[in-house]
Structure 1
């Protein structure tokens, strides 16, 4: 008997609500530190390059463990797996609450990230299992909104709390919600997918983890010099590890990540679009608070209120993006993204110390419109361009690269800010970089996308 037929509506809806809330809170936790960076730089007396690891380190680790979780989900029953993931998240939140020095806070963030990474694919698979096929579209739209919108809401949520309860209060709230969701998991979660033997290729795990980590660390060390051993040398070591990992995966009979999905043009395009979107979105999550709070001197509450509109736009735009995509396709929506990001980049380049908080709100709103218009359609074109039997592998590759792009985004934005002088002209340089990425999105939209669309219509 199918699982959706054996579960009562009460139990099924309880699992759905638990997973949606868990996905929302864990995904939001990866971006709340973006707004905290200026405060934590002062509190712990660390540089912006060091503080940004609270965001980029967490997203990097989440991406690295996604392929590992595919094996864990096959071997572990669903309920213990969920409770382990939420326990790690809750323990990490508690550690961050009581952290007295920066290394302890960073380690706590990484423990949080383990729980977040474990839930990314798990939630999708369980939701698709407990609901019949005719409801999959609606259920996945709800999941996408919870997982995607949370990254936009995170900085706003942190800003509204920090002036009243401080940065520790943000982690206290995450710890309380995590503990409540553990209780919900005990009450509602059950085992809905079968267990099966699965082999974890330790060599591939080591190569992929070392490759991604060394590349991001080397990039972060670029301020020491482009040709310094601890920058370009470490980056080269990471690229060599990733190259070896790719060769092993292409030759393996049962690869940890099936990289052959890149043979599909639609998938490649969807991945490139998504990486570009995250380079701006997650870079903005780090740079906009620095502009607002360090350069312009606005309070945490003022910044939080300024970004509320952007957060609300993200919620509603994400809700309707799928329906609009079904009617008009992705190309008109890409024009909206290009126009919004172009205006956003221009406003950023012309920002100065005397801008109003409304100006900050416009930057947040434009970024939210651009991201919301394209993030769901790019996921759709990437995975719909695959054959049915390749979609599980494609989803794993897509989610991994999306998390790695998030880590790369915050690292690159803060690196540019540090290299250009940690001041207002440095902010302008970062927004020029965002403008260059916008030009790349425009090129993909105007020249590459029509070619692939015509090829698929034949």
Structure 2
């Protein structure tokens, strides 16, 4: 099952890299095409935004069931199926005849894109030998971080010179080439036997995830205290609580929650969630500050954010090399302390803070996130036996997707409420009130990051033990 040959490693890694790259890239390239799509199909912005929201919703819904599907089909077959579905749905987007069909095909693309992300992570831990997993995860993280960096720029260039359909046409040749590499070089294997399909678990997790993600995505627009948001939120939580209770009772669960019996997986997942929240704090607040307070254009904002994003992407494979030498603890504790310091510094910015200072702070903060991201993911995945790695990957990506939506929704609402508070308290200008509101939310982000500091030491404690948790 392990692939020792160096050329095979790079061929398999290329399929993993480009598959993951395409799935993440498709999230960020579509935004720049909104005006053109709205004009061609005579659609409103509220309708067109579902090209983005629908894709994200689909990726979050499908994540919990990937582990089961991989166990039944094998991850090689499932990867080929996901690439085929992603490529065909991209082709369907090209031939869409109205905004409704384009949204439908885009949601279908999101289903297969949401499968690709956990599949590629799982294959790393089931195909590559342990000594190459950290480096492979560094490359996987590079794809995840590089795609959002170049997505808006690449999408803008394609739309300007080749039209909005070129965004989807780009996926077709890369998807086909990746399918050939996967079919030829990834070995066929299945680590578990056939199991019956947990239909009730499937319905509850899909419905619960959908309701929660919808409430997270639209809570700021509807109002977090509105009956619509609260009903979706409560219903989603109740359905997921039922799902968890049901999965622990039955003999053939859809999602193996037994992975939480591995202590390092639990600790790493909690830390990963905190880092995800910290990531989206900056992703939301820094552009908001640059455009609403400093009055910079979207292009200038992107250029200021670019150095940090490039550092985060470039550092990932290098960190993967260091991981094998020093383990996760030193990398993660360094990253967490950097995140805390940089986020705290952001909480003190004002209406006249220089652009250079903002760019440097963002660069430092992104380096801290990079130092945490891959080591935490690898620490969690390597702690789980190969039999359950697909389920561990599904849970990890499911948690990230949900927290991304929740973080953006809550932080957006907090900025609005704190800005209103400062305006009512006598802030001299709208810009000053907005800045103070953003500062308050950065302080909240700092406190969230501080929670990670003591938790990081749990990684060190587990590292000292020589016994590996027994496979369940």
* TM superposition score normalised by structure 2: 0.78
Alignment match of 2:187 (pick from 188, 192, 208): 192
1:23-102 superposed matches below 5 A: 23-32=20-29, 36=32, 46=45, 57-76=54-73, 81-93=78-90
Cα separation, 1, equivalents of 2:230 and 2:407: 18
Indicate whether 1:16 and 2:10 are aligned.
Answer: no
Instruction: State the aligned residue count.
Output: 446
Alignment match of 2:445 (pick from 410, 413, 437): 437
Distance of aligned partners of 1:438 and 1:388 in 2 relative to their CA distance in 1, 3 Å threshold: farther
Instruction: Name the counterpart of 1:311.
Output: 309
Whether the aligned pair in 2 keeps the contact of 1:67 and 1:257 (CA below 8 Å) is: yes
Whether the aligned pair in 1 keeps the contact of 2:86 and 2:175 (CA below 8 Å) is: no
Cα separation, 2, equivalents of 1:319 and 1:12: 15
Instruction: Name the counterpart of 1:138.
Output: 132
| Structure 1 gap ranges (5+) | none
Distance of aligned partners of 1:416 and 1:183 in 2 relative to their CA distance in 1, 3 Å threshold: same
Cα separation, 2, equivalents of 1:71 and 1:369: 35
1:27-426 superposed matches below 5 A: 27-32=24-29, 36=32, 46=45, 57-76=54-73, 81-93=78-90, 106-127=103-124, 131=128, 133=129, 136-138=130-132, 141-142=135-136, 144-161=137-154, 164-166=157-159, 172=165, 174-190=167-183, 192-194=187-189, 197-219=194-216, 220-221=218-219, 223-293=221-291, 295-325=293-323, 326-327=325-326, 329-331=328-330, 333-347=332-346, 350-352=349-351, 357-386=355-384, 390-417=388-415, 424=431, 425-426=433-434
Cα separation, 2, equivalents of 1:206 and 1:229: 24
Alignment match of 2:456 (pick from 445, 449, 452): 449
Q: Alignment partner of 1:339: what SS?
A: helix
Distance of aligned partners of 1:407 and 1:148 in 2 relative to their CA distance in 1, 3 Å threshold: farther
Structure 1 position 94, deviation (Å):
5.4
Structure 1 position 181, deviation (Å):
1.9
Structure 1 position 241, deviation (Å):
0.4
Whether the aligned pair in 2 keeps the contact of 1:267 and 1:383 (CA below 8 Å) is: yes
Cα separation, 1, equivalents of 2:331 and 2:167: 38
Cα separation, 2, equivalents of 1:169 and 1:283: 34
Cα separation, 2, equivalents of 1:51 and 1:350: 35
Structure 1 position 377, deviation (Å):
1.9
Whether the aligned pair in 2 keeps the contact of 1:55 and 1:410 (CA below 8 Å) is: no
Q: Alignment partner of 1:200: what SS?
A: coil
Output one character per residue of 1:295-354: Cα deviation in whole Å (capped at 9) or x when no partner. 5443444333323321221123222324444427525642443333432453365253x6
Cα separation, 2, equivalents of 1:86 and 1:428: 46
| Structure 2 gap ranges (5+) | 421-429, 466-472
Q: Alignment partner of 1:432: what SS?
A: helix
Output one character per residue of 1:353-382: Cα deviation in whole Å (capped at 9) or x when no partner. x65553453353133112101112222332
Whether the aligned pair in 1 keeps the contact of 2:290 and 2:296 (CA below 8 Å) is: yes
Whether the aligned pair in 1 keeps the contact of 2:67 and 2:390 (CA below 8 Å) is: no
Structure 1 position 101, deviation (Å):
8.0
Question: Which sits farther off after the overlay, 148-157 or 230-239?
Answer: 148-157
Whether the aligned pair in 2 keeps the contact of 1:89 and 1:116 (CA below 8 Å) is: yes
Cα separation, 2, equivalents of 1:211 and 1:419: 28
* TM superposition score normalised by structure 1: 0.80
Instruction: Name the counterpart of 2:468.
Output: none
Distance of aligned partners of 1:266 and 1:77 in 2 relative to their CA distance in 1, 3 Å threshold: closer
Output one character per residue of 1:84-111: Cα deviation in whole Å (capped at 9) or x when no partner. 4234334554566688987666545433
Whether the aligned pair in 1 keeps the contact of 2:198 and 2:254 (CA below 8 Å) is: yes
CA RMSD of aligned residues (A): 4.0
Cα separation, 1, equivalents of 2:101 and 2:436: 33
Whether the aligned pair in 1 keeps the contact of 2:125 and 2:381 (CA below 8 Å) is: no
Distance of aligned partners of 1:216 and 1:39 in 2 relative to their CA distance in 1, 3 Å threshold: same
Question: Which sits farther off after the overlay, 436-445 or 38-47?
Answer: 38-47
